[in-house]
Amino acid sequence: MTAGTARPVVLAGLGRHADKIVIPALQASPNWHIAGLVSGRPEVAAQRADELGSAAFPSLTAAIEATGAGAVYLAGMPVSHLSDCREALEAGVPLVICEKPLGVNGGEVAALLEEAAGAGALLYEVAAYQHHPQFETLQRLIDSPEVGGLVHGYARFSYPFMPEGDFRYRPADGGGALLDAGIYPLSMAARLLGGEDVEIQAAEFRGDHDVDTAGSATLSDRRGRSFQCSWGMGSAYANVARIVGAAGTVEVPRPFSKPAAFTEPMVLIGGWGERTPVEYDAADQFVRMLDDLHLHGDDGEWRSAAMRQIADRWSVVERVRTTAIRVG
C-alpha cells in the first residue's frame, strides 16, 4: 500500500457501534475511505450513503465488485460474521476486518483463519485496545526492570444489563457475556501470557436468562504465572486491569474501551508500595488500529503474527466456553 493513498473499504452492518465508533474512525483516518455500505436494512444503507457521499449495495459481493474495495469492515451481528467473512474472502478481498467475536465458537474461527490463509488474505478480529499507546506502554513496562515480567494479572470488563430484547440475550444471535464482554480480559490474558499452553478453570452464570450473563476464568502456565479474568452483564461498569510483576505492579485504568481523549495515567507501584504515574499519549484506538492495518497489512510476518494471536485468543475463549462450570 502506498503511503498517503486512501484505500477503499466496504462497511457491512450499520448499527449503533458502526455509527458511533467505526464510521468516525474510518473518516478520521487518511488511509481509508468508505466506498460502499451494506445493511440488512436497505433504507438505512441508502440514507447513510447519501450522508457520507458513498453508495449502498444489496450485498457484500456486489459492493466489492462495484467499488474494487481492498478491504471489508464487518460490523454486523455476531451470528452473521461467519457467512460475511466467507463472502468477502470468496470475493477476493485481501483484508477482512471483523468486529469481535469473529465467530460464535472456536470451530468457526479456526475454519475462517484457515480459509483466509489459503486465500492469502489477512482476517483480522478487532481488538482495538491493543493498538492504543496505553497498551504499548503497558507491554514495555511489564518487560522493564521496574516490573520484572508478568507474574500475575487480573482484568475485568462488565456493564449493567442491556434493555430486554437486545441481541446479547439471544443465543441464536451469538449472545452472551463471554462473547461480548469476556473476550476483552481473555484476549489480554492470552496476549500477555504469550500464547503459551495454559491450564484453565472457568465458571459461568446464567440466572433467568438463556445465555451466560457473567463468568470468570483463571489461566495458569507451566512457568508459574497466572491471570484471573472476570466479566459480566448486569453489574456495575468495570474496565480495569492490574499486572503484578517480580519487582513491581501496574494498575491500568480503562484498558479496553476508552474515549479518544482519555489520558488517565497508569500507576507503577514499586516493591515497597511507592506509586508513580505513567503517562501515555491520547489516541482513538480504532483509528490507530486502522492505521496499523494500512501500514503493516502487506507485511507477511506481521500478518502471520496477527492471525496467530487471534488463534491463541480463541483457543482460550473456546476452552472457557466448553469447560466452564455453570454455577447458577
CA dist 326 and 42 (Å) reads 41
Name the phi and psi angles at 273, rounded to 5: 95, 0
As to burial, measured by CB atoms within 10 angstroms (0-12 exposed, 13-18 middle, 19+ buried), residue 110 is middle
Report CA torsion sign: 288, 100, 301, 2: negative
Sign for the pseudo-dihedral over CA of 76, 77, 82, 83: negative
Which letter, b or e, does each residue of 5-27 get, where b requires 16 or more Cβ atoms within 10 Å of its Cβ? eebbbbbbbbbeebeebbbebbe
Catalytic one of 7, 48, 81, 100 = 100
Do residues 37 and 54 make contact, with C-beta atoms less than 8 angstroms apart? yes
Spatial separation of the C-alpha atoms in residues 262 and 82, rounded to whole Å: 33
| Pairwise CA distance, residues 250 & 270, whole Å | 9
The yes-or-no answer on residue 20 being catalytic is: no
266 to each of 171, 227, 230, 250, how far by Cα in Å? 37, 19, 20, 7
Q: Which residues are catalytic?
A: 100
